[in-house]
Amino acid sequence: ENDRPLSSRYHITSTTTTMNNEPNSLIDQANFSLDTAKADLDLHEAELEAAQSRYNDAKSRYDDAMQRFLEADLLRVCRWNQMYHKFVQWKEDHNGDTIVQTTKNSSDDVKKLAKWVQNQRVFYKYYINGDTKHIKQHRITALDNLGFVWNVFENQWNANFEELKQYYAEKKTFEVPKRQNSKLATFVLTMRNAMKKRNEGIVVQKDVTLTEERIDKLNSINFHWGLKRPPRKQKAPAINMLTGYDQQYQLLASFKEEYGHLKVSKMLQEWVKGESEPSNKEYKRLPAFVAAIKKEHDAYREGKPSILNEERVEQLTALGIKWKKPLNEPRQNTRSKEEDPNRETRKRRKTDDEAGDSAYEATAVNI
């Protein structure tokens, strides 16, 4: 090494020193970049916090202004405001109800209020689809403040879901006896049938029975989609049609001779209600027999295996059994439109309905 020229020895030493200092320089640069980024981040966080504060202040002032506007607007004299205040009163008088369901005994005022509520739901659907001329945002807000139910079906589904969730928490099962809770049992069955159709690829247009959101909610409580239970024992048939036809026919003939008709189902209802008593308790089996022979007659007419033959069909027809007419057979009312005595009345009603619809549409736009 000492024999080498000085310039050569200096070059090697300089190169070695530079290589040893290079990693330290890169680390210093990285630390500097990191410190700069942290300073920028702190600055941006401060700016974001200031912007959020300004937004909150502006939103608070907007909400206050909107509230004052709502209060002032609801004092105006107009039909919408009149119905709104009636709705408020209804909610106070009916334990917070916002559905407003009617019955055949409901008063005209209640029916008008229910129609108004239904219209708001329709107008809201228009609104969220871009048609804003029927209802404005401030009126939507006013109804929201009252807990207005915009989608009755969704509200009912959520209520059923919460009830099922509570039932499972108490019973540790989703098998709801229909006798115990018919509504909840029907809800469970409907959900399972909808999932079955979904798995089989049966999709009904606009079917919202089982959306992805609802599936997720049901899965969140570990809902059992399939019901596995031992098969039920087959009940013994009420009538042995192969061996008991002649006996049941004689019983039916005896019934007609005594009562003068074959309205066996109507008589059975009277017997069940206790309004009368059959002279022969076996008469109570006749409704099942009549229903069975009518099904057998359908099979006979279609050329399928049946216990009926031509002789028996003539025998039952002569007794007074009324068979269901084929779909391709003309009905009794085959008169023309000109021969219809109520044609003008129906035509006038149709004209009045169309005029009423036009008036309603104009009123809806004004609202």
Sign for the pseudo-dihedral over CA of 177, 180, 184, 190: positive
The alpha carbon of 2 is separated from its chain's Cα centroid by a whole number of angstroms, namely 97
pLDDT the model gives residue 236: 44
Please check whether residue 279 is in contact with residue 301, taking contact to mean a CB–CB distance below 8 angstroms: no
Q: Out of 165-169, 231-235, 242-246, 307-311, which region has the weakest mean confidence (pLDDT)?
A: 231-235
- Token pair, residue 18, equals 């530079």
Task: Flag whether pLDDT at 309 surpasses 80.
Answer: yes
pLDDT over 60 (residue 9): no
Write out pLDDT tens, residues 99-133. Answer: 898 888 999 999 999 999 999 999 999 998 888 89
Q: Is the pLDDT of residue 8 over 70?
A: no
The string of pLDDT tens digits covering residues 326-353 is: 655 554 555 555 555 666 666 665 555 4
Whether 239 and 285 have beta carbons less than 8 Å apart is answered as: yes
Cβ count within 10 A of residue 286: 23
List pLDDT tens digits, range 205-223: 445 578 888 999 999 999 9
What pLDDT, in 10s, does the model give residues 77-104?
999 999 999 999 999 999 988 889 888 8
Mean pLDDT of all residues belonging to the chain: 80
Contact 142, 74 (CB under 8 A): yes
Rounded CA gap, 353 and 144, in Å?
A: 33
Q: For residue 187, what pLDDT is reported?
A: 93
The region that residue 240 occupies, defined by phi over 0 for left and psi between -120 and 50 for alpha, beta otherwise, is beta
